[in-house]
Amino acid sequence: MAFFAHQIQRSFSSSVVRNVVIKNVTIIGGGQMGAGIAQVAASTGHSVTLVDMTDDILKKAMKGIQSSLRRVVKKKFSDDPESGDDFIQKVMQNVSTNTNPAAAVTSSDLVVEAIVENMKIKQDLFGFLDKMAPEHTIFASNTSSLPISDMASATSRPDRCGGLHFFNPVPMMKLVEVVATSSTRGRFRSLNPCLVCPGHTWVHQRCVSVCHGSKEDIDIGMKLGAGYPMGPFELSDYVGLDTIKFITDGWREKEPDNPLFAPSDLLNKLVSEGKLGKKSLQGFYKYSK
């Protein structure tokens, strides 16, 4: 995270931002991704404020961060459990929660949004925070597929808006795509040398695969045959079927004739039944708590 904070700082060309030290990070959205981003930012010494709509959601997020840290520590401090406990305590002390986004950004250096994959809601959030956050604050979106420039246009600081596309689960995935727009000028560039296309990069285009066969066979096939750590159905449950639906609906809007983005009756049925994947304990597969 420190590396990316440096990269963002180095790349934003406006003088107001250039000498910004990224210390205070506000994450809006304490779901799968927001909680993971908060964990990584707090683990690298940043002071983090995690925002969501209710205290219950935030309590669940903090519990998730703690259990994830325990998994990290089991490996990182295997021969020194006491230091592991200290590490967890220190990281958790770096994270505070707030249900009031306005109060949570008053001293932010970097705001990362990881809320629902809906452009209007993201634009409204960016527009609102733009009035509340300090002049120097950088805004970043963790969106999987929506154009950063459309979010930046909802603010008075398009030169300090970018994408920070983390991958799930954040504490385990080394890739973060730093997405620039024409307004971010300067040297801000995507660290991931890849084609920029709907959904940012070719990484996503490979997630969208046309499959024929049982979900189990396809997942096993992609794991054993393509060396994937998870098959496409397992991964879709892991990402969240609602998020997958937001993304593919967005891509279909842009390219209605692309057969890759044809609507999936099964996906639409599962989402309409609230079967969102791992986060709701049922999607393509069933999960235990």
Ligand X SMILES: NC(=O)c1ccc[n+]([C@@H]2O[C@H](COP(=O)([O-])OP(=O)(O)OC[C@H]3O[C@@H](n4cnc5c(N)ncnc54)[C@H](O)[C@@H]3O)[C@@H](O)[C@H]2O)c1
Ligand Y SMILES: CCCCCCC[C@H](O)CC(=O)SCCNC(=O)CCNC(=O)[C@H](O)C(C)(C)COP(=O)([O-])OP(=O)([O-])OC[C@H]1O[C@@H](n2cnc3c(N)ncnc32)[C@H](O)[C@@H]1OP(=O)([O-])[O-]
Q: Are 159 and 132 within 8 A, CB to CB? A: no
Stretch that binds ligand Y, among 89-97, 128-136, 202-210, 213-221 (CB under 6 A): 202-210
Residue 108 binds what, of ligand Y, ligand X, none (CB under 5 to 8 Å, by partner type)?
A: none
Q: Check binding of 28 to ligand X (CB under 6 A).
A: yes
Task: Identify whether the C-beta of residue 27 lies closer than 8 Å to the C-beta of residue 211.
Answer: no
SS3 state at 195: coil
The amino acid at 187: R
Position closest to ligand X via CB = 31
Question: How far apart are CB 77 and ligand X at their closest, in Å?
Answer: 27
Q: Stretches 11-19, 31-39, 126-134, 263-271: which one binds ligand X (CB under 6 A)? A: 31-39
Q: Measured between alpha carbons, how far is 267 from 271 in angstroms, rounded to an integer?
A: 6
**Of ligand Y, ligand X, none, which one does residue 30 interact with (CB within 5 to 8 Å by kind)?**
ligand X
Instruction: State the Rg of the chain over Cα.
Output: 19
In the bound state with ligand X, the residue whose beta carbon lies nearer, of 53 and 266, is 53
Work out whether 103 is an interface residue with ligand X (CB under 6 A).
no
The C-alpha torsion from 52 through 56 and 57 to 59, rounded to 10°, is 100
Contacting ligand Y within 238-257 (CB under 6 A): 239, 244, 247-248
Q: How many Å apart are CA 71 and CA 88, to the nearest integer?
A: 11
Where is 123: in which H helix or E strand? helix 119-132
Residues engaged in binding ligand X (CB under 6 A): 28-34, 51-53, 57, 114-117, 121, 125, 142-144, 166-168, 239-240, 243, 279
